[in-house]
């Protein structure tokens, strides 16, 4: 399966500010030597040597993750990143979209009215959630005065299915199962299982001691996943100050992955006040922490827009 990030920020969209662009330019300029400017090849080599926080960006769109699996199109959450997905050239030819919603906070649904495919009358959407009134919640955000186009303007093939936590569903050869997590109003984590591969999407979770209790449901979703994308919005100090806000520190996310035997961890749902340099420092701290507690190979990455994971 192929996992692709279209939106990785939490809480609200976070575009790059002019001051942040200027800071990147200044940081690059300070690294230039005369030899770096000699010819085109030297300049290209210099640019490619820049740290990723200078040369690129983590991205500013809210949550949307695409999973291509056994000819199925799975989309997790419909934050502003789904608008960018809708502009891509790699949409499913059969125009069938299977969408899974973790919860209905704005940053996870606000992109649907801007998803081009939703207005195509030939598109079919199968929208899954453990929340029974999902259609009503989507309709409400597209009512006046919040949005000028009503939900009824979307494709008529909008099918809503209610999931039961712990009860797997199958889409072709792909199995999906969810479980509730600690978050204001409850958020749900999803495991996607295909053959001998398991991918877990666990955004918007405030990890607590009970989450480390290996119940049958928790094991079904998390145990020995090949890869987890997990809420890592805060540093430990900030998580302490923001208890009950519904998000985790990166060190708790790593503890959680180690507990359930997960070797690949993608830090996700990035704090909107953190710039690319800050997020890069968190990644380095997370890797040091993983080495300290695990004493074994644990791959830690920062989820970035347009990044792909191949399982």
Is pLDDT above 80 for 70? no
Q: Please state, as a whole number, how many other Cβ atoms lie within 10 Å of the Cβ of residue 292.
A: 10
**Contact status, residue 226 vs residue 198, Cβ threshold 8 Å:** yes
**Contact status, residue 48 vs residue 82, Cβ threshold 8 Å:** no
Per residue in 228-248, pLDDT (tens digit) is 999 999 998 999 899 999 999
- Burial of residue 193, with CB atoms counted within 10 A of its CB: 0-12 exposed, 13-18 middle, 19 or more buried: buried
The residues near 81 (Cβ < 8 Å, ≥ 6 apart) are: 5, 6, 7, 8, 59, 61, 62, 63, 64, 111, 305
Is pLDDT above 70 for 295? no
The predicted pLDDT at position 294 comes to 75
Per residue in 157-184, pLDDT (tens digit) is 999 999 999 999 999 999 999 999 999 9
Question: What mean pLDDT is predicted for residues 299-307?
Answer: 97
- Angstrom distance (rounded) from CA 153 to CA 79: 19
Is pLDDT above 90 for 80? yes
Read off the pLDDT band of 89 (50, 70, 90). Answer: confident
Q: Please state, as a whole number, how many other Cβ atoms lie within 10 Å of the Cβ of residue 217.
A: 14
Tally the C-alpha atoms within 13 A of residue 94's C-alpha that lie toward its C-beta: 8
Question: What mean pLDDT is predicted for residues 80-90?
Answer: 94
Per residue in 126-169, pLDDT (tens digit) is 999 999 999 999 999 999 999 999 999 999 999 999 999 999 99
Question: What mean pLDDT is predicted for residues 1-14?
Answer: 96
The predicted pLDDT at position 71 comes to 77
Question: What mean pLDDT is predicted for residues 303-308?
Answer: 97
Question: What mean pLDDT is predicted for residues 177-202?
Answer: 96
- Angstrom distance (rounded) from CA 307 to CA 196: 23
Is pLDDT above 90 for 72? no
Tokens of 239: 């998580």
Question: What mean pLDDT is predicted for residues 296-311?
Answer: 94
Question: CA torsion angle for 90, 92, 93, 98 (degrees, to 10)?
Answer: -170
- Collapsing DSSP to helix, strand or coil, 242 comes out as coil
Question: What mean pLDDT is predicted for residues 285-307?
Answer: 90
Question: What mean pLDDT is predicted for residues 284-290?
Answer: 94
Among 60, 56, 65, 32, CA closest to 192: 65
Question: What mean pLDDT is predicted for residues 79-106?
Answer: 95
pTM of the model: 0.94
- Per DSSP (E only), the strands in the chain are 2-7, 64-69, 72-76, 96-100, 124-129, 158-162, 169-171, 174-181, 187-194, 197-202, 227-231, 264-268, 299-302, 308-310
The predicted pLDDT at position 27 comes to 95
- Angstrom distance (rounded) from CA 6 to CA 307: 8
Share the mean pLDDT of the chain: 95
- Angstrom distance (rounded) from CA 27 to CA 21: 10
Per residue in 207-235, pLDDT (tens digit) is 999 999 989 999 999 999 999 999 999 99
Query: If you ran DSSP here, which 8-state letter would residue 231 be given?
Result: E
Among 251, 246, 231, CA closest to 76: 231
The predicted pLDDT at position 293 comes to 85
**Contact status, residue 192 vs residue 74, Cβ threshold 8 Å:** yes
């Amino acid at each position: 399966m192929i996992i692709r990030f279209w939106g990785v920020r939490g809480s609200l969209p976070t575009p790059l500010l002019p001051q942040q662009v200027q800071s990147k330019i200044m940081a690059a300029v300070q690294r230039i030597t005369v030899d770096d400017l000699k010819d085109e090849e030297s300049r290209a080599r210099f640019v490619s040597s820049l740290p990723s926080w200078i040369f690129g960006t983590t991205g500013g769109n809210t949550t949307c993750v695409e999973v291509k699996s056994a000819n199925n199109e799975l989309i997790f959450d419909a934050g502003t990143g789904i608008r960018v997905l809708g502009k891509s050239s790699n949409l499913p030819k059969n125009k069938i979209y299977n969408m899974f919603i973790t919860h209905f906070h704005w940053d996870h649904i606000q992109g649907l009215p801007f998803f081009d495919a939703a207005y195509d009358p030939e598109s079919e959407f199968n929208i899954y959630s453990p929340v029974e009134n999902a259609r009503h919640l989507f309709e409400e955000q597209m009512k006046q005065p919040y949005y000028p186009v009503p939900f009824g303007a979307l494709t008529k093939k909008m099918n809503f299915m209610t999931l039961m936590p712990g009860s797997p569903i199958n889409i072709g050869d792909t199995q999906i199962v969810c479980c509730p997590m600690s978050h204001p109003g409850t958020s749900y984590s999803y495991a996607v299982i295909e053959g001998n591969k398991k991918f877990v999407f666990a955004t918007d979770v405030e990890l607590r001691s009970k989450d480390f209790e290996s119940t049958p449901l928790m094991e079904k979703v998390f145990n020995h996943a090949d890869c987890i994308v997990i809420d890592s919005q805060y540093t430990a100090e900030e998580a302490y100050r923001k208890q009950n806000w519904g998000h985790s520190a990166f060190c708790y996310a790593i503890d959680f992955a180690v507990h359930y035997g997960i070797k690949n961890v993608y830090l996700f749902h990035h704090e909107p006040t953190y710039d690319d340099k800050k997020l890069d420092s968190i990644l380095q701290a997370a890797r040091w922490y993983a080495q300290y507690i695990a004493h074994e190979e644990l791959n830690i990455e920062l989820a970035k827009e347009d990044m792909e994971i191949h399982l």
